[in-house]
């Protein structure tokens, strides 16, 4: 009788929100405010228009859009049509956007007017381009009165494809399933604490892992999405105050924007701030605490639906000093409730090819691996890359870390970012955190640069706080007081800003290339 199990799909969340809280506010986007019932209608209309446009089951539909109502509707409407959503990073070059449209065989490309304008002169393989600002209503007029079922036949069918940021090589298309999206959304709902009445601010791009599945999780709780098109301090604070925001997410750089904006002020009601993308520095942790907000640190990759693990605070941490707590909080923690265990494994597998865990001593470095419902189905049209990523039956993150005795994982570095100096591994993240713990340091990145004697040596790029006058010697001494001497950078460059990817990660690759070039 198991055939009676209903296939898992996040479409159910919108069906239910519209059933149970039809008149509650679903989305706020500037002056536009719609209810759950209207959001469901909008998804139905989009789905019907997509089908009327000849898009078949499993075919892709691309969106090049900011955090706007239409992109949120698409997270339900596109899969409701039986199609697959490709939400494209808006900060990519025209050529990269064209590549993603071609690689995903997207049939239609929807986009913001100005983002589409930037594609002028680029060859696009899509059959149709729809301008969300000028042509969307006309497109939607193709819809009939049909109401599609909020169902999917096969829960392992692809619901979205998210392209990796591809710091090296071509971006890869990460396939999420209806089942994975459903479960990860429930996991986010639990760990972020979404309930009916929650008000979520979109400081995170929706095109980034479908907003870590919060596109679906917020609606699962019949809570309210508040759109934000550009991450600016004044806009964030206006919405936090006026829209009574109690949840938001972002990379640490977004948190810095939040905490250092002129409008920043202590909050008199709860705000949960979830961060990922890089371990939050002690400075950021302290700043968020000073606002009166609660910081939640999670960790994951595009391949893991966004967050896979959470650094869940433990009861015994309540007796730690702020500094001790910061160290605990900067770790990546353990698998979320809907994920499997997270492991750290050795480079060498056992004789039978199985993966061998490192010692849980906080010292032995290995690769972080994950599996299960929190991990993608595979890379679109790339069997080789998929097989390589899943060698030994676990997804290989390419991230290096250690397993602590308490079962929490700590990320040390991306495999390609590790600095090998005199045969010793140096975690650039570790050095970055040591530098970031100095009160005059606002932002920092460490990379490995060639060194005749040692092979490589760490080099730091530091952004200081306004009015700070710290010098290199002081910072090096600060690091040496905290880490082994060989880990201290012997060269520190002071700069105004660090180059970052669209998702807030420092582009270490670009810095390394600049070093090599000159």
Closest CA to 85 of 95, 94, 76: 76
User: Site size for its own copies, by CB under 8 A?
Assistant: 53
Q: How many angstroms separate the CA atoms of 237 and 198, rounded? A: 17
Q: Does residue number 247 form part of the binding site for its own copies (CB under 8 A)?
A: no
Give the one residue of 40, 83, 223, 334 binding its own copies; rule: CB under 8 A.
334
> What are the CA-CA distances from residue 137 to residues 41, 49, 140, 268, 359 (Å)?
14, 10, 5, 41, 59
Give the one residue of 83, 132, 143, 220 binding its own copies; rule: CB under 8 A.
220
Q: Report the side by side order of strands in the sheet with 455-464.
A: 441-451, 455-464, 491-494
Instruction: Map the footprint of its own copies across residues 409-428, applying CB under 8 A.
Output: none
Closest CA to 272 of 301, 244, 295, 302: 295
In the complex with its own copies, which residue's Cβ is closer, 372 or 499? 372
Q: Does residue number 315 form part of the binding site for its own copies (CB under 8 A)?
A: yes
Query: Is the Cα torsion angle 436, 438, 443, 444 positive or negative in sign?
Result: negative
In the complex with its own copies, which residue's Cβ is closer, 377 or 457? 377
Instruction: Specify the stretch interacting with its own copies by CB under 8 A; choose among 6-14, 42-50, 262-270, 351-359.
Output: 6-14
Instruction: Map the footprint of its own copies across residues 359-378, applying CB under 8 A.
Output: 371-373, 375-378
For the chain, the 3-state helix, strand and coil shares in percent, each to the nearest 5, are: 35, 25, 40
Per-position x/- string for 282-311, each x denoting binding to its own copies as judged by CB under 8 A, each - no binding = ------------------------------
Task: Assess contact for 343 and 374: CB atoms under 8 A.
Answer: no
Minimum Å gap between C-beta 164 and its own copies is: 16
Q: Does residue number 333 form part of the binding site for its own copies (CB under 8 A)?
A: yes
In the complex with its own copies, which residue's Cβ is closer, 54 or 393? 393
| 181 Cβ neighbours under 8 A, 6+ residues apart | 9, 10, 159, 160, 210, 213, 216, 305
Q: Does residue number 492 form part of the binding site for its own copies (CB under 8 A)?
A: no
Minimum Å gap between C-beta 311 and its own copies is: 10
Minimum Å gap between C-beta 222 and its own copies is: 8
Q: Does residue number 263 form part of the binding site for its own copies (CB under 8 A)?
A: no
Give the one residue of 306, 335, 366, 458 binding its own copies; rule: CB under 8 A.
335
Give the one residue of 341, 347, 416, 490 binding its own copies; rule: CB under 8 A.
341
Task: Assess contact for 302 and 162: CB atoms under 8 A.
Answer: yes
Helix (H) or strand (E) holding 114: helix 113-117
| 254 Cβ neighbours under 8 A, 6+ residues apart | 203, 204, 231, 275, 504
Q: Does residue number 323 form part of the binding site for its own copies (CB under 8 A)?
A: no
The C-alpha angle with vertex 388 and arms to 424 and 87, in degrees rounded to 5, equals 105
> What are the CA-CA distances from residue 418 to residues 203, 250, 294, 426 (Å)?
30, 25, 31, 6
Q: Does residue number 352 form part of the binding site for its own copies (CB under 8 A)?
A: no
Give the one residue of 53, 67, 89, 177 binding its own copies; rule: CB under 8 A.
177
In the complex with its own copies, which residue's Cβ is closer, 19 or 241? 19
Give the one residue of 39, 92, 116, 186 binding its own copies; rule: CB under 8 A.
186
Minimum Å gap between C-beta 243 and its own copies is: 16
Instruction: Specify the stretch interacting with its own copies by CB under 8 A; choose among 18-26, 48-56, 107-115, 317-325.
Output: 18-26
Residue by residue, DSSP assigns 185-247 as HHHHHHHHT--TT-EEE--S-TTSHHHHTHHHHHHHTT-EEE--SS--HHHHHHHHHHTT--E
Task: Give me the residues that bind its own copies (CB under 8 A), please.
Answer: 1-2, 4-6, 8, 12-13, 15-16, 19-24, 156, 177, 179-180, 183, 186, 189-190, 193, 195-196, 220-221, 312, 314-316, 333-335, 337-338, 340-341, 371-373, 375-378, 386, 390, 393, 395, 406-407
């Amino acid at each position: 009788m198991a055939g009676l199990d209903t296939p898992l799909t996040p479409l159910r969340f919108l069906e239910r929100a519209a059933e149970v809280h039809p008149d509650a506010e679903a989305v706020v986007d500037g002056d536009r405010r719609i209810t759950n019932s209207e959001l469901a209608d909008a998804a139905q209309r989009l789905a019907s228009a997509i089908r009327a446009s000849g898009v078949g089951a499993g075919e892709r539909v691309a969106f090049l859009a900011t955090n706007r109502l239409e992109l949120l509707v698409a997270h339900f409407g596109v899969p409701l049509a039986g199609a697959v959503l490709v939400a494209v990073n808006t900060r990519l070059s025209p050529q990269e956007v064209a590549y993603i449209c071609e690689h995903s065989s997207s049939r239609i490309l929807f986009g913001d007017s100005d983002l589409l304008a930037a594609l002028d002169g680029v060859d696009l393989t899509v059959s149709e381009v729809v301008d969300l600002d000028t042509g969307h209503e006309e497109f939607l007029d193709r819809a009939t009165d049909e109401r599609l079922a909020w169902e999917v036949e096969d829960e392992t069918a692809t619901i979205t494809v998210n392209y990796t940021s591809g710091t090296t090589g071509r971006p890869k298309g990460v396939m999420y399933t209806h089942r994975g999206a459903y479960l990860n959304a429930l996991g986010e709902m639990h760990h972020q604490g979404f309930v009916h009445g929650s008000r979520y601010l979109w400081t995170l791009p929706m095109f980034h892992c479908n907003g870590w599945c919060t596109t679906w999780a917020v609606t699962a709780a019949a809570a309210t999405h508040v759109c934000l098109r550009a991450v600016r301090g004044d806009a964030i604070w206006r919405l936090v105050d006026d829209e009574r925001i109690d949840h938001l997410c972002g990379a640490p750089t977004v948190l810095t924007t939040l905490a250092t904006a002129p409008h920043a002020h202590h909050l008199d009601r709860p705000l949960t701030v979830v961060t990922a993308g890089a371990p939050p520095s002690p400075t950021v942790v302290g700043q968020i605490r000073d606002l009166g907000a609660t910081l939640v640190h999670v960790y994951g990759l595009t391949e893991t639906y966004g967050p896979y693990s959470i650094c869940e605070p433990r009861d015994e941490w309540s007796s730690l000093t702020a500094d001790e707590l910061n160290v605990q909080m900067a770790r990546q923690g353990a698998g979320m409730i809907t994920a499997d265990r997270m492991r750290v494994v050795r480079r060498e597998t056992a004789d039978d090819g199985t993966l061998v865990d490192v010692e849980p001593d906080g010292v032995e470095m290995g690769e972080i691996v994950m599996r299960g419902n929190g991990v993608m189905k595979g890379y679109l049209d790339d069997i080789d890359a998929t097989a390589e990523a899943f060698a030994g039956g676990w997804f290989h993150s390419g991230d290096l870390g250690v397993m602590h005795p308490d079962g929490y994982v700590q990320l040390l570095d991306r495999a390609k970012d590790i600095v090998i100096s005199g045969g010793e591994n140096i975690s650039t993240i570790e050095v970055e955190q040591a530098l970031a713990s100095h009160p005059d340091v606002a932002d920092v990145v460490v990379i490995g640069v060639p060194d005749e004697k040692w092979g490589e040596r760490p080099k730091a790029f530091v952004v200081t706080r306004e009015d700070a006058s710290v010098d290199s010697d002081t910072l090096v001494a600060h690091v040496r007081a905290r880490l082994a001497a060989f880990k201290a950078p012997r060269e520190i460059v002071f700069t105004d800003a660090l180059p970052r990817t669209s998702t807030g990660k420092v582009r270490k690759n670009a810095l390394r290339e600049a070093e090599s070039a000159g």
